[in-house]
Structure 1
């Protein structure tokens, strides 16, 4: 079981902003998963990997691939209180899910 969080590299988010957006994405996708998947992922150590994407369109393309594979996923939009404009899509979490399925969607992306 695994979850991958894709974060945009084109926004220039500070480290704290990036960490918060990754956390929001992880929790939101976890909440989208069914109970069996949630329990399995938690019992398996909650493996997470953070990867890079170049822009907004890449987030939405990955989200569509995740949807087609039946994987829980969540795109996070910033509230606009600090560094970014309100509604800016910042991150996407794919999974938790079977590692092979998550890799089918995100396996070609570089680590953050």
Structure 2
């Protein structure tokens, strides 16, 4: 088995495990009244798992997809490194664990967009460049507030970069519906820098 085949097998296994875990949490972890509603929601939108907070309580976050799936095929012609960018809002003052969970939600949502053959965002060539040529490169940056996050979101879509904003369910640290993290890509660094070059590392 080659290193490439092993990496692909591990990636598929990890995605399958996480998908199964999320579906189990959504469909079976809650008893009674909301289970049917959760089942329908699972089929209609991307949802995200929980994290363990400092109080050891289970925080189940939901995320609503803002925007549309972007056809990024034109970006395949741009050479160089491909990366995913995760931009965290600073004014919410999330704890590091909370921010990490929100970044995970954004990463998975973007990956689902770009690997779904039914989606306009489907771009297997870009996924291949990101996964196998660039080691799934990600960078985490910060933005001061939602207004600037929304501006970056619009700018990214205008350049053909897929974007996703995570909205928190509000069960632990922050208000329900808060836009926490903006995920961008995967896309060539040359294009991504047009949007994020002035942002500071998180």
CA positional deviation for 1:86: 1.3
Task: Map 1:23-102; keep pairs closer than 5 Å.
Answer: 23-33=104-114, 34-43=123-132, 44-102=134-192
Structure 1 residue 26, shift from structure 2 partner:
1.5
> Offset of 1:46 from its aligned partner?
0.7
TM-score by length of 2: 0.54
Q: 1:32, 1:72 → 2: CA distance? A: 8
Runs of 4+ in 1 over 4 A off after TM superposition: none
SS at match of 2:135: coil
Calculate the aligned-residue CA RMSD, in Å.
Answer: 1.0
The alpha carbon displacement at 1:81 in A equals 1.4
1:26, 1:16 → 2: CA distance? 15
Larger radius of gyration: 2
Offset, 1:75: 0.5
CA distance in 1, matches of 2:131, 2:101: 20
Tell me the matched-pair count.
112
Q: Please, which moves more after superposition, 37-46 or 10-19?
A: 37-46
- Other structure's SS at 1:64 match: helix
Q: Which sections of structure 1, spanning at least 5 residues, go unmatched?
A: none
Asked which structure has the greater RCO (Cα within 8 Å, sep 6+), the reply is 1
**Whole-angstrom distance in 1 between the partners of 2:147 and 2:109:** 20
